[in-house]
Amino acid sequence: MSSTYSTNLAIELIGTGDQAGNWGSTTNTNLGTLLEQAISGYVTQAVATGTDTTLAMTNGASATARNMTIELTGTGGASTNLVVPANKKLYFIYNNSTGAVTVKVSGQTGVSVPATAKIALVSNGTDVVVAENYMVSPTLLNAALTGTPTAPTASVGTNTTQIATTAFVNAAIVAAYPVGSIYMSTVSTNPATLFGFGTWVTYGSGRVLISQDGTYTAGSTGGSATTTLIEANLPSHSHSASSSSSVSDPGHRHQIGGRDSTANEGGDPNSEFVRDYPSVANPYSSTVTTGITVSTSTSIGNTGSGTAFSNLPPYIAVYMWNRTV
């Protein structure tokens, strides 16, 4: 009875009564070469950009495809493929070439392995797939993840050392900025561009914010940047005034009519005066002419121009948006 070969590793199975005297040699090859390759074999294999490198599983003899670990060298890149047999087998692939290499069964899609990546793959009899997708509590030391690794997404508000996925981070930001939120920045980039969600419109242009209360309803507007005072806004106050007066009296005189001499009445003849009598009825009448001019002026000065003044406290202007959707 002739020898046959195992389905996956192509190890020689000696037929009953065959290879008399050669069992030792065949067994040594099976155990010392073929099984050793499958369990711990490490081989390098050169690849070339844009070409297929096909590995064979040779029956009963050493074969590159039988090795557990295959290190790829050479030049990788687009359309660079390592084609392995359809035999069911585990592979450790270390892509030490210059670019990505796809490991696959002929005619299938396989798995693209980036340059410098190390990965466990398995041929399932149809194509090559990733050998693992689950690890229990692994400890990764200084791990550098490439590609697009995935992880479970925690609920919003989770505060643990669990990995935060992009979905978790996005949900947290959405929760932090619900509809009605105000976003402020010193740059003009719309938050929709920064966050990737929501409809944001410019808000409060030229206005400052004030906390709502019983007097100020949320969303209401009021106030002005400048104010012109009216009389009712002025405090009680006084004004200074200046005045000037002048009195003019160019002189006056009194005239007594009639003539008489005090000497006739026993007066001193050396100091007598003469009196005139205009008439017998009024011997002592007189006339008086007096000129007096009085003028007074008072002046109260005007001040102020009615120019509006600024109500603004010290400020710094920023960009503001309101999320509406």
- Res 291 pLDDT > 60: yes
In this prediction, residues 14-40 reach a mean pLDDT of 91
Most confident of 179-183, 299-303, 310-314: 179-183
Record the tokens describing residue 28, joined without a space.
């040594």
Ranges of each domain in the chain? 4-130, 165-217+313-325
For residues 241 and 286, the model is more confident at 241
Q: What is the per-residue pLDDT across 110-153, written as a single tens digit (0 to 9) for each?
A: 999 999 999 999 999 999 999 998 888 888 788 888 888 888 99
- Res 260 pLDDT > 80: no
Alpha-carbon distances of 241 from 167, 294, 301, rounded to whole Å: 79, 20, 7
Q: Which of 100, 114, 84 is nearest to 49 (CA)?
A: 100
The answer to which of 2-11, 21-30, 43-52, 299-308 has the lowest mean pLDDT is 299-308
b/e 234-253 (16+ beta carbons within 10 angstroms → b): eeeeeeeeeeeeeeeeeeee
pLDDT at 290: 57
User: Cα(206)–Cα(94) distance, rounded to whole angstroms?
Assistant: 62
pLDDT at 102: 98
pLDDT at 277: 47
Q: What is the per-residue pLDDT across 57-84, written as a single tens digit (0 to 9) for each?
A: 999 999 999 999 999 999 999 999 999 9
Terminal CA-to-CA distance of the chain, rounded, Å? 80
Q: What is the per-residue pLDDT across 219-259, written as a single tens digit (0 to 9) for each?
A: 899 988 888 888 888 888 887 888 888 877 666 555 554 45
Q: What percent of the chain has pLDDT over 70?
A: 86
Contact 320, 202 (CB under 8 A): yes
User: Cα(45)–Cα(84) distance, rounded to whole angstroms?
Assistant: 12
49 — pLDDT class (breaks 50, 70, 90): very high
Q: Which of 291, 288, 290, 289 is nearest to 248 (CA)?
A: 291
